[in-house]
Amino acid sequence: MRSENGGKKIVFSGNVVGFWGDLKITSDILELYNSEDTQETEEIVAIGNVFISRDNKRAKGDRAVYLDKLQKIILTGTPRATAWEDQNIIEGREMIFLLDKDRFLVNDRVRMKFYPKEETAETGPDKKKISVNARK
């Protein structure tokens, strides 16, 4: 760990694991950016092998920026997120996790696989998996 700018920036390196309430972030490097009075963490930047988990949602990518006041995480690189159910997969180049609304937004090309909770008469055994590819 090292501190820069009088504690305004704190850098952790190695196999870093950070917890913020029910949010867990692991990465190779974690940078904390504090307010001018160093009383609040305003931004967290995770770099390299980023893995984020909260409840039953998980996401991984190359880089993540957590903005505390906006309650959102911007994940970039080649993220792969699992949301709502353990098997459901959402992939995209840039992904935004809105923590207060508990949902993912994906910019640019999106790839999704959803697995219904239960098999119904409409889905049948051969139509259980739903895949979507979209381009901007």
**Whether pLDDT at 131 is above 60:** no
Could you give the CA distance from residue 8 to residue 130 in angstroms, rounded to a whole number? 46
pLDDT at residue number 121: 45
CATH number, span 2-134 = 2.60.450.10
Structural domain boundaries in the chain: 2-134
Average pLDDT for 14-35: 93
Band (pLDDT 50/70/90 cuts) for residue 28 is very high
pLDDT at residue number 35: 86
Kindly report the backbone phi and psi dihedral angles of residue 83, in degrees, each rounded to the nearest multiple of 5, phi listed first: -125, 150
| Of 33 and 128, the one with more pLDDT | 33
Least confident of 57-71, 80-94, 118-132: 118-132
